[in-house]
Amino acid sequence: MINTVIFDMDGVIIDSEPIHQALEFEMFRDLGLHISDEEHMNYVGTSSIDMWNLIKEKHDLKKTPEELLFYGRKRYWDALEQNRVPLVDGSVELMQQLYQHKYIIQVASSATRPTVDKVINHFRLDKYISHRIGGNEVKKSKPEPEIFLRSAQQSNSNPWECLVIEDSTNGVRAAKKAGMFCVGYANPGTGSQDLSMADLVVSDIRNLTLEVIRSFI
C-alpha cells in the first residue's frame, strides 16, 4: 500500500519547462552554442549541473558549469518572482487531498535545493511537504535512482510503498530503477518524452485521484 507520494517539481508541480527551455536557449545563443531540440530533450529531467557538464564535454565552453548554473538560476528566479511560472492544474489540489488523508508528501527534483526551497516557499506549499531533496544533494541525478531512494529513507518508507509522479523519461526511469510505482504525467510543455515505463500515464493531473493512488498495491 502506498504511504508516500513523491512529486517531481518542474513539469509536475509547476508548469516550468517552457520557461526553462526559453531561458536555456537564450543562454545557448548568448554563449554561441548550436544545440538542437533533440539534444536539449536528452537533458530534460537531469540536474542543471549535469546538463552543463555534458554540454561542456560536447561543446567548446570557456565558462565553468558552476558559473553557468548560477547564471541560469538567477534568470529563472527572476522569472519566478515575475509570476511567469504557473502551477500545473490540479497539482496543489492533489497535495491537499493527500495531506488530508495522512500521506507523506515529498518533492524530489533535479533542480538545486535552493531553487526547490524558493519554489515551495513562493507558492506556500511547505505546509503539505514533509521532505524535499534537490539534484545537488545526490551524487548521481536522474535517470539514476539515488534521489528517490534517498526520499524513501527520509520518510522511513520502503520503495514499494512509494509512488512517484514524473513528467520526463529520465525521471520515470529513475523511479522504476528505485523499485517504486510511477505515474507519468504527459505534460505538453515538457515535449516528447517516453513515459512508457510508468505504471500509469495521465494527460491531466486532475485525473490522478485518491482512488487511483489507492489502487497501487
Last-in-domain residue among 59, 81, 103: 81
Q: How many domains does the chain have?
A: 2
- Any idea what the CATH number is for the domain that residue 189 is in? 3.40.50.1000
* Residues 137 and 61 both lie in one domain: no
* Residues 94 and 33 both lie in one domain: no
141-193 pLDDT, tens digit per residue, is 899 999 999 999 999 999 999 999 999 999 999 999 999 999 999 998 888 89
For the chain, report the end-to-end CA distance as a whole number of angstroms.
5
* Residues 123 and 76 both lie in one domain: no
* Residues 197 and 117 both lie in one domain: yes
pLDDT at 47 over 80: no
